[in-house]
Structure 1
């Protein structure tokens, strides 16, 4: 299958000089980064581009733009509309608007406030059939009518290519343009900007055809071979790309994080405690009426990302949790699955649980105030209060009514109403392994089929805060490119980018997490499940002090993955070395059919 979340392709226009100094001449360059997830949260790529935005803006300033699709809700809630600082960019955008294509520009309201250019797919859909024909005549890639995602990707790619043509015509020789394209959805833009047709030399990937994604694979493969610089986020995806896409990665650019450093260890630990208490409050509501386990002896595990059941290792994880359930005695583990799926609303029982929890809190505070006042009055009189009389009948009535309100069925597995409950992979396997949140179960499951947000009425926490409040992240993934290292230990695989990175740069990975081998190339699925089960069981047996020590070690490790280090190395050094090789590149080169369509002269 295509390496759709692991690759990035870079192209450029203009004549680039050989750079011999140590600094990239960003004043003479415009950098455009294209991704389907700019202002559009779909998976991990959105987190990648968000977290490295500040370090890129610090280095490139107003010469840096992100490009993606326009969605009205995302634009209204995340973007402050404004005009671009370069007149040439503004004129290129205006040229598209004058031809009936809607395009929006503004500042993305994230750290760094980068400029974004968002293309309205629907406004240009009138030309889809022609662009499909051009794609077929140019490189023999056909897109089926029913694949809306691929069709939308082609429209955005055509608009990006059109924009670049207008921009380079306006700029002339004043500035050079660098384009950085993420994932296969952004690939059509690179293909239409710069394409040479040599696909006939490649063998057709039967597996892609069997999975009915051959056209997507072809788009990605063509984009890879059109790029001047081809990068992957790990050595493992570089190996896959060499065999599947028939091109060796020029540069491996690991993904990083915005790492918040603390002046003292206790500040970091206090933040973990605060975030954990917020998760505990949610758990109290979710398990109301069945909160028969000690939250002080409860650990929080999580897995998060795109809902790809096998690729993300949710199958391995669930099987291992079922085995862990038989081993645990005194410790309870609450496991969160944070993976977006099709839902129609919040689960009524989940919302009711949080309402009941709030009611109990208010009742307890009301009784506490009465109790405290009467106790205080009695002590002022020099009397030891009669504890049986200090609370009257009404107080007991209020408390009993609150207790009766907590009587309910076992806590729900999901926080939302699932549209495909009967066929959902996670729920189907939960039924298979029998983890139903019964009182006897020491492993409890909470499936949250939506990305986390601080504005949620159910679990009002941003992802970063949620992760900090958990005890362990579990990522038995085939292609997980990075893991959120915010002082939280994690277990991952040596088949993922993050696992390989840690294996290469850390002498003792077991002090921070476990390198879990999985897959037929290394060991059987059963062996992988046993290994993961044993790791989680050993983690549960650690003392509170041991977990604190491990979190401190992991927090120190996070500096290795900071964008302040990886971003400058990747952007400056690698681009200087790789892009500097291309000294005979002219302006954006469009394929002939595309140029004829818009009346351009091919350059």
Structure 2
């Protein structure tokens, strides 16, 4: 629910589809929007956006001379802006791009976007990646708006080169931090939800071998399945280095890394369900005897009974447990995927993990779990919501290559969770000059104008640094991360929107 309770108008534009070709012609003649080869994924928002323009112009005529500002986000709404200019409306317009269609497409294809920007031929590249219709719409909206804005410095640089206009205002993305738990509440949530994840690790890994959960750190990466854009490629390479470093040091630490990357999953792995059911059976067996065990221990301690151990764990109980433990045991390595997915062996995340020696062997200090479902709180395994899962973990990993803003490290900070972001993300560039000198809470992976080798080395260093922190240092990082989140509170950042609206009214 939005606190301001804004009014919303739902528009039925289906009947207007007969005007599709007429609209395309006008957009080409007036604004050089090239939609000749477009499909319904372009045509549907085009029709809706055009009809919104008709609606807004009628509203403006009804209101007479009253000053009106209309704010449009992304190319999908940009055609409304173009319609209003076509009819010489007195509505002042603001266009915000949260990313450029061309920039995201080039980055997704593995092109070095930031090296390309100084020499890029946008039309040539847009034709090459098949986004000519959306690119030309975005460009026309940016160039014809009263005020042009983007959501970050890095996207502003990109937009100026690709769309041909420098943004007048950066309207940074914020959070309502008051909606998130206090630092005291985050500590409570961390302890409670961490135990849920540790229980999951018990039945995921312990049938095969064990490690000390008290010495286990939980890292996580989450986002869309964009292998390069989200930094999954460099993350896995850096985790390989971390694994080797911890092995060489004979570290007591184990790092379990969750890849929360939604995929077309269809059901939990049968092997994992069997593990979970057997674990629950063992736990329930012990739980049924817990009162008797507690009573025997207390009475034995009071009476100083030297044989209390034999009375707590009777031969019958130990024999039953031994049978269950034998059933619980498995051979081989633990699963990498928690759920079934199509063509699992061809999954690029799994392939890259295995090729870098991260296949969950007993001697691996870094363990990997690909968890390819949305964190709804009812997935059948963790059963934690997204924010509950965040709060359980120690470190979020978001070293994105293409990230116009990047809400996730900010959300992690608001949950009192340390994270790594990059200086190619909007949030990373916003926060990097505001970090405390020690125990920053948010760490910056240096990616701007760096080679992949340099990026991986820097990221591995951040991993290793965090893995060596003691408990008190991790707590201080949590506190500092939480404090940094207040810098991106809407209470502060809304002023940028007000500035953009006022500038538009002055046009």
Q: Do the aligned residues in 1 keep the contact of 2:151 with 2:172 (CA within 8 Å)?
A: yes
CA deviation after TM superposition for structure 1 residue 184, in Å: 3.4
Greater Cα offset, 147-156 or 137-146: 137-146
> Taking structure 1 as the reference length, what is the TM-score of the superposition?
0.68
8 A contact 2:49–2:79 mirrored in 1 = yes
Where does residue 206 of structure 1 map in the other structure? Answer: 124
CA distance in 1 between counterparts of 2:43 and 2:198 reads 44
- TM alignment of 1:416-435, pairs within 5 A: 416-435=339-358
Residue from 557, 570, 591 that aligns with 2:496: 570
User: Please, which of 480, 485, 490 is the counterpart of residue 558 of structure 1?
Assistant: 485
- 1:313 corresponds in structure 2 to 231
Partner residue in 2 for 1:412: 335
CA distance in 2, matches of 1:552, 1:234: 25
Cα-to-partner distance string for 1:163-218 (whole Å, 9 max, x where unaligned): 4355446x43386654333333443444445459xxxxx96433332222232222
Is 1:153 the counterpart of 2:45? The answer is: yes
2:383 is equivalent to residue 460 of structure 1: yes
Higher helix proportion (structure 1 or 2): 2
Task: Choose the corresponding residue for 1:179, options 33, 53, 70.
Answer: 70
Per-residue deviation, 1:499: 1.6
Give, in angstroms, the shift of residue 361 of structure 1: 2.2
What is the DSSP-based 3-state SS (H/G/I as helix, E as strand, rest coil) of the residue aligned with 1:502?
helix
| 3-state SS, counterpart of residue 181 of structure 1 | strand
Q: Is structure 2 residue 146 aligned with structure 1 residue 228?
A: yes
In the alignment, structure 1 residue 549 sits paired with structure 2 residue 476: yes
User: What is the Cα deviation at residue 286 of structure 1?
Assistant: 2.5
Q: Which deviations, in whole Å up to 9, do the C-alpha atoms of 1:369-423 show, x marking residues without a partner?
A: 3434556787899966554355455533442343233223422212222224344
2:389 aligns to what SS in structure 1? helix
1:312 shift after superposition? 1.3
The question of whether the paired residues in 1 share the 8 Å contact of 2:439 and 2:477 is answered with no
Q: CA deviation at 1:572?
A: 2.8
Taking structure 1 as reference, are residues 177 and 293 closer, same or farther at Cα in structure 2, changes over 3 Å only? Answer: farther
Unaligned runs of 5+ in 2: 88-119
Aligned to 1:579: 504
Is 2:239 aligned against 1:347?
no
Change (3 A) 1:165 1:321: same
Q: Which runs of 5 or more residues in structure 1 are unaligned?
A: 1-49, 66-83, 102-123, 197-201, 583-603
Instruction: Report what 1:504 is aligned to.
Output: 433
In the alignment, which of 436, 443, 447 is matched to residue 514 of structure 1?
Answer: 443
Counterpart selection for 2:364 from 422, 437, 441: 441
**Would the aligned equivalents of 1:274 and 1:469 in 2 still touch at CA under 8 Å?**
yes
TM-score, reference length from structure 2 = 0.80
Q: Which moved more, 1:457-466 or 1:242-251?
A: 457-466
Alignment of 1:259 onto 2:169: no
TM-superposed CA distance for 1:316, in Å, is 0.8
2: CA distance between counterparts of 1:390 and 1:367?
9
Does structure 1 conserve the Cα–Cα contact (< 8 Å) formed by 2:69 and 2:504? no
Q: CA RMSD in A?
A: 3.4
CA distance in 2: counterparts of 1:146 and 1:388, whole angstroms: 78
Equivalence map 1:287-436=2 (5 Å) = 287-290=205-208, 292-328=210-246, 329-372=251-294, 387-392=309-314, 394-408=316-330, 409-436=332-359
**Structure 1 residues 167 and 513, CA gap change in structure 2 (3 angstroms):** same
Give, in whole Å, the separation in 2 of the partners of 1:127 and 1:359. Answer: 65
Deviations 1:308-358 (A, max 9, x none): 111111111111011111011321111122222233333333444433333
> What SS does the aligned partner of 1:301 have?
strand
User: How far apart, CA to CA, are the structure 2 residues paired with 1:349 and 1:187?
Assistant: 50
**Partner Cα separation in structure 1 for residue 36 and residue 353 of structure 2:** 35
1:302–1:338 Cα contact (<8 Å) kept: yes
Residues matched between the structures, number:
464
- 2: CA distance, partners of 1:213 / 1:100: 24
Correspondence for 1:534 among 451, 457, 461: 461
Alignment of 1:57-68 (within 5 A): 57=4, 62=5, 64-65=6-7
Note if 1:451 corresponds to 2:380. no
Cα deviation, residue 162, structure 1? 4.7
Deviations 1:240-292 (A, max 9, x none): 11111111111112212232499985444333222322222232233241351
